[in-house]
Amino acid sequence: MNKKDLRIVYMGTPEFAVESLKRLVEGGYNIVGVITMPDKPMGRHGSVLQPSPVKQYAVSQGLKVLQPEKLKDEQFLAELRELKADLQIVVAFRMLPEVVWNMPPMGTFNLHASLLPQYRGAAPINWAVINGDTETGITTFFLKHEIDTGEIIDQVRVPIADTDNVEIVYNRLMMLGGDLVLKTVDAILDGNVKTTPQEELAQIEELRPAPKIFKETCRIDWTQGVKKVYDFVRGLSPYPAAWTELHQGEQAPVMLKIFETEKQYCSHNYQPGSIDTDKKTYFRIATTDGYLNIRSLQLAGKKRMEVTDFLRGYRFDDSTYVK
- Of 199, 175, 195, nearest in space to 187 by CA: 195
CA count, 13 A, side-chain hemisphere, 267: 0
Q: Is 117 annotated as a binding residue?
A: yes
Q: How far apart are CA 114 and CA 149, in angstroms?
A: 12
Classified as helix, coil or strand, 142 is: strand
DSSP string, 79-116: HHHHT--SEEEEES--PPPHHHHT-STT-EEEEESSST
Q: How far apart are CA 320 and CA 308, in angstroms?
A: 17
Q: Is 114 annotated as a binding residue?
A: yes
* Cα diameter, the chain: 73
Residue pair 36/54 in contact by the 8 Å Cβ criterion: yes
Q: Is 116 annotated as a binding residue?
A: yes
- Of 14, 235, 196, 22, nearest in space to 115 by CA: 196
Q: Is 240 annotated as a binding residue?
A: no
Q: How far apart are CA 303 and CA 11, in angstroms?
A: 35
Classified as helix, coil or strand, 204 is: coil
Q: How much is the CA Rg of the chain, to the nearest whole Å?
A: 23
Q: Which residues are annotated as a binding site for (6S)-5,6,7,8-tetrahydrofolate?
A: 114-117
Instruction: Pick out the residues of the known binding site.
Output: 114-117
